[in-house]
Amino acid sequence: MRNIKLTIEYDGTGYHGWQIQPNVETIQGTMEGKLAQITGEPVRLVASGRTDTGVHAMGQVAHFKTHSFLDVLTFLKAVNSLLPEDIRVKDVEEVDEAFHARFSAKGRVYEYRIFNGELPSPFHRHFSWFVPGNLDLASMREAGMKLVGRHDFSSFCSAGSDQSCPIREVYAIDVGMREDLIIVQVEANAFLRQMVRNIVGSLVEVGRRKLTPSQFGGILEARDRRRAGLAAPAQGLFLVRVNY
């Protein structure tokens, strides 16, 4: 039995997230079907983590076990020839049997994109959150730095999470500009459900000067989801990289 690691990018606009579900299109379901065609056997694809409906990835990682003898380059070409245009496998690698896309991961990097123009852009509508008006980036950076370290992130975890422990360690957070987008990038050992979207929602309130950085820090310390702002919409979120 071989263990095959995939690095995947996808536009999540047309999918109900990563995880396979009945009667809806998902990234996992689509990919498992194509891989089964190639290998001639059922395939169970395990990802580094689930992405929600409408969320994108530039570096999702998944693995599957197979008896197939196809070499990795053939896998790469074959799966991309079958996948729809909004999903692409960037790399295929045969790895040690012990490798697990989720449990072997040491950290993950997400970024959230905010389009801060005067009018909505048709070119950014599926890949960013339109937030008009001036945002105070310096205050957003100051607030974001309060998240660095090991904390209880209950205030930024959406209801319905199946994760019993809300402790996570944020290694780095940055708020910057890239052309006409504000980019919030967060690197952590792991993330709670909708954690980045909930953080960004409150950071935007800081940028609008409705919260001070100190008040933002108080939200973290409160460990109460009701204290935080609304979650930023899904389409601005990207899984950038998984570190092993």
Q: Which domains does the chain have, with CATH numbers?
A: 2-95 (3.30.70.580), 107-243 (3.30.70.660)
User: Exactly one of 52, 71, 86, 224 is catalytic; which is it?
Assistant: 52
Interatomic CA distance for residues 117 and 242, integer angstroms: 31
CA atoms within 13 A of residue 197's CA, in its CB half-sphere: 23
Can you name the residues that pair with 93 across neighbouring β-strands? 5
Residue 52: active-site member: yes
Instruction: Name which of 51, 156, 148, 58 is nearest 102 in CA terms.
Output: 51
Q: Looking at residue 153, what is its pLDDT?
A: 96
pLDDT tens per residue, range 68-94: 999 999 999 999 999 999 999 999 999
What pLDDT score does 160 carry? 62
pLDDT at 179: 86
Q: What is the pLDDT of residue 163?
A: 65
- Contact between 44 and 32 under an 8 Å Cβ cutoff? The reply is yes
Residues (pLDDT < 70) of the chain are 160-163
**pTM for the predicted model, two decimal places:** 0.95
- The per-residue pLDDT for 164 is 73
